[in-house]
Structure 1
C-alpha cells in the first residue's frame, strides 16, 4: 500500500491546491479569486513542508509553488473576459497540484499517479479557449505519448515493487544501493527511463512540444518552466536506483545527447519567439538528461532550477519582447546584418574557442581518478564552453573597447555566476561515487558536444557558408523526425478535429492571445 502518512505537512501544498480546484468547480464565478489566493499561499505551504522533505524536494516544491503563483496571476490578465476562465483555473490548479505531489511524494505509486494527474490536467489546458485545429492536433499527439508513458510508468512501478517488496522510496533506494538488484527491477528502471524520455519531449517524440505553442502563453510558461522538468527530477530523486542500472543511465545520456545537439541547431532557424523557446526547451532537457546519465545529479538539479526560472520569465515576457523588437525596427535600430566575419576576426574567435576547450580538458585532466565531483566538473566546463564560445564568436574586433568589455564581461561573469549557483545547490543533490556508465558513453558525450560546438562556431562565423547552407533546410524542417513520427502514429490513431461550425460557435468568445510568435 502507498505510504500516505509519512508527514502531514508534506501534503499541505498539493492538498490545498486540489481543494481549491474542487471549490472552483462549485463556485465558478469566484474562480480567479480562489485560484490567486491559494497559489499566492502555495510558496508558504512549500516552506512549511521543508522539515518533511528531502533537500532536492524542498527546492523543487518551492520552485513549482512560486511558478504557479506567478503564472496564474499573469493568466488572470491574459484571459480577462474569456468564458473558459473557470475551467482554466480548475485544471491549472490540478496541474500544479500534481507537479507538487511528484516532488513531495515518498511512495512510488503516488509519484506515478501524480505524474499522470499533471499530464491529464496539462492536456486540458492545451485546448482551453477557442477551438483551434492545430492546438487539437498537438494535444492529440501529446495525449498519445503521455498514455504510452503512463503505461511504462505503471509497469515500472509493478516490476520495481515486486523486486524490492515495497513502494516506499527511501526503503527501495536503500535496498538498491546495497548491491546488485533483481532483473525485474532492472527492467522497471529501463521502462522508467523510457517514460522520462517521452515526457521530456526528446527526439523523435518532441513534435507536440513545438506545436503546443498554439496554447495560451501562460500555459506554455507552466509547461516549459515546471511540468517538463518533472522527468529529470524523478530520475534525481531515484538516483541510487538508476546508478544501479547503468543501461538506464546510458539510455538517458544518449537520448539527451541527440536531442541537445540537434535541437540547438534547429533553434537557430526559428524566427518566432515562442518557436525558438520551444526548441530551446527540447535542447535544455536533453542536456539535463546527459547530466543525469553521467551521474552529475547535482548539476542536473541546478540546470532544472535555472531553466525553470529562465523559461517562465522568457515566455511571460515574450509579448513585450516582440513589442520592443518592433519599436527598434520602426526606429531603424535593427540588428546588425549577419555578414561573415573578416579572416582576422575569425582567427580571434577560433583562438578563443580553442582556449576555452583547452581549459575544459585541463579541468578534466586535473582529476586523475573519478570522484563524486568529476562529472559535475566535466559538464560544468562543457556548459561554460557552450555558452562562451558562441557568444565570443559573434564579437567583432573592429568594435574596439566596447567589444573588449563585452568579451571580458562574458568570460568573467558567466563562470562566476555558474560557480555560485553550483556551490549553493551541489550539497543538496545526490552524487555518483564512480562513473555509473561505460567510459565510451562519457567519451561519446564529449565528442558529440565538441562536434556541436564546432558546427555552432562555424555557422556563427559564416552564416552564408557552405556548411550553413547545407544544414539550413534540414534544420528548418527539424531534421524531418517529427514528420515521420506523426505519419506513423496517426495511422494507428488519427486525431478527431472539432468541426469548423463548432469552432465558429466557440470562437464567439474570443481568447485574447498575444500573437507573440
Structure 2
C-alpha cells in the first residue's frame, strides 16, 4: 500500500511538471527553472515529489513497512537497505531545482526528516535483533538525508547516499559474523563512566575542534546550513569524547577520542568540498536562509544536541525506572507500527483457511 502511494504521488508529479513546463525532460525543466520559469503548478509538483520520496525512503509515519520485511534473506536486506531505499533521496536530488521552488515543502522535509532521524536513532539502540536494529538505523539515516535535502544541501545528501550504501551493505552482509563474535567473546563494558562535568567538557572540546577545522577550511565559503549540519555531526562525536574525558579514563583513551573528533571535522569539510566541486553546475547551491530557515536550523542543532547529551550521559541514567519504561516504548517504535497496521488491517488480503487450502 505504501509503495503504491509513492508511485501515485510520483505519477501526479510527472503529469504536473509536464503540464507546467511542456516537457518531461529533467534537464530541460531544471534549465527553465534556473532561467526564472516558475508556473503556479510547480509547488504542487514539488509536494508530490516529496511525498513520493518520504514514502519510498520509509519516513515517519509511513516507515513501518521497512521494519516488517526483515524475514527476507540477509543479502536481499542488504540490497534493499543499500540500494532500493535510496530511491527517494535520489529523486529529490535529481529534481533539486523543482524542490527549491517551494520553501514550505523544504521546511516539511526538515521537520519530518529530522524527527524520523531522532526516532530511528533512539529506537535502534533498544533493539535486540541485529537486522531490526540495522533497519531502524536505515530509517534514521534516510531521515537525516531528507533533512539535508530540506536544508538545500543536495551535494552533501548525495555524498550521504553513497556513504550509507557502502556502510549498510557491509553491515548487513556481516551481520551473521557479528552475532557469532558476540556469542564467542564477552565484550567488556565502558572503560569509564563520564560525569556531567566530563560531558560538558567533551562538548566544549568538540565544538572548539570544529571551530578550528572550520576556520582552516574557511567558514566564509560555507553556507549557514552546512555549518549547522557540521555542528550536528561533531556533537554526535562528542559522546565518544565524554568517555575519554572521564576522570577514571586512561590517558591514551583521551588522546584517541580527541583525535577521532578532529578527524571527523576534517573529513566533513574535506568531503563536503569535494562533493560540491564534483556537482558544481549540476546541483543548485543552498539558498540563503530566511527567518523560517533560521528557526529550523536552530531547532535542528538544539534537538540533535540534546539527544547527543542524553546519549553521552546514558550510563548515568540508564538504570533509572523512568528510563526502563522509556526503553520499552522505544523498543516498540512508540507503537506507530501497531497503529498503522490496525488502520490498514481492513485492506489486508484475508488469509485462506487450512480447510480451504486442502480443498
Pairing 1:335–2:188 present: yes
Distance across 2 between alignment mates of 1:260 and 1:317:
24
Q: Against the structure 1 CA distance between its residues 252 and 353, is the aligned structure 2 distance closer, same or farther, given a 3 Å change threshold?
A: same
Contact 1:189 1:242 in 2 (8 A): yes
Q: Which one is further off, 357-366 or 286-295? A: 357-366
Distance across 1 between alignment mates of 2:137 and 2:355:
36
Distance across 2 between alignment mates of 1:409 and 1:278:
30
Contact 1:363 1:378 in 2 (8 A): no
TM-score for both structures, normalised by structure 1:
0.62
Distance across 2 between alignment mates of 1:447 and 1:255:
16
Pairing 1:216–2:69 present: no
Pairing 1:375–2:225 present: yes
Contact 2:120 2:136 in 1 (8 A): yes
Larger Rg: 1
Q: In structure 2, what is the equivalent of residue 124 of structure 1?
A: none
Q: Against the structure 1 CA distance between its residues 461 and 354, is the aligned structure 2 distance closer, same or farther, given a 3 Å change threshold?
A: farther
Q: Give the CA deviation at 1:209.
A: 0.8
Q: Against the structure 1 CA distance between its residues 466 and 181, is the aligned structure 2 distance closer, same or farther, given a 3 Å change threshold?
A: farther
- The one of 294, 313, 323 equivalent to 1:468 is 323
TM-score for both structures, normalised by structure 2:
0.88
Q: In structure 1, what is the equivalent of residue 277 of structure 2?
A: 427
- The one of 15, 19, 33 equivalent to 1:176 is 33
Q: The residue matched to 2:319 in structure 1 has which SS? A: coil
Structure 1 runs not aligned, ≥5 long: 1-143, 505-517
Q: In structure 2, what is the equivalent of residue 446 of structure 1?
A: 301
- The one of 152, 157, 170 equivalent to 1:300 is 157
Give runs of aligned pairs for residues 191-230 of structure 1, distance below 5 A. 191-230=48-87
Q: Give the CA deviation at 1:176.
A: 1.7
Distance across 1 between alignment mates of 2:240 and 2:353:
48
Contact 2:206 2:261 in 1 (8 A): no
Contact 1:152 1:192 in 2 (8 A): yes
Q: In structure 2, what is the equivalent of residue 351 of structure 1?
A: 201
Contact 1:340 1:462 in 2 (8 A): no
Q: Against the structure 1 CA distance between its residues 269 and 498, is the aligned structure 2 distance closer, same or farther, given a 3 Å change threshold?
A: farther
Distance across 1 between alignment mates of 2:150 and 2:255:
37
Q: Give the CA deviation at 1:502.
A: 11
Q: Against the structure 1 CA distance between its residues 281 and 360, is the aligned structure 2 distance closer, same or farther, given a 3 Å change threshold?
A: same
Contact 1:261 1:449 in 2 (8 A): yes
Give runs of aligned pairs for residues 129-208 of structure 1, distance below 5 A. 144-179=1-36, 181-208=38-65
Q: In structure 2, what is the equivalent of residue 235 of structure 1?
A: 92
Pairing 1:458–2:308 present: no
Structure 2 runs not aligned, ≥5 long: none
Q: Against the structure 1 CA distance between its residues 384 and 496, is the aligned structure 2 distance closer, same or farther, given a 3 Å change threshold?
A: farther
CA RMSD of aligned residues (A): 3.0
Q: Against the structure 1 CA distance between its residues 370 and 231, is the aligned structure 2 distance closer, same or farther, given a 3 Å change threshold?
A: farther
Q: Against the structure 1 CA distance between its residues 439 and 276, is the aligned structure 2 distance closer, same or farther, given a 3 Å change threshold?
A: same
Q: Against the structure 1 CA distance between its residues 371 and 162, is the aligned structure 2 distance closer, same or farther, given a 3 Å change threshold?
A: farther
Q: In structure 2, what is the equivalent of residue 393 of structure 1?
A: 242
Contact 2:55 2:62 in 1 (8 A): yes
Residues matched between the structures, number: 352
Contact 2:81 2:169 in 1 (8 A): yes
Q: Deviations over 1:85-130 (max 9, x none)?
A: xxxxxxxxxxxxxxxxxxxxxxxxxxxxxxxxxxxxxxxxxxxxxx
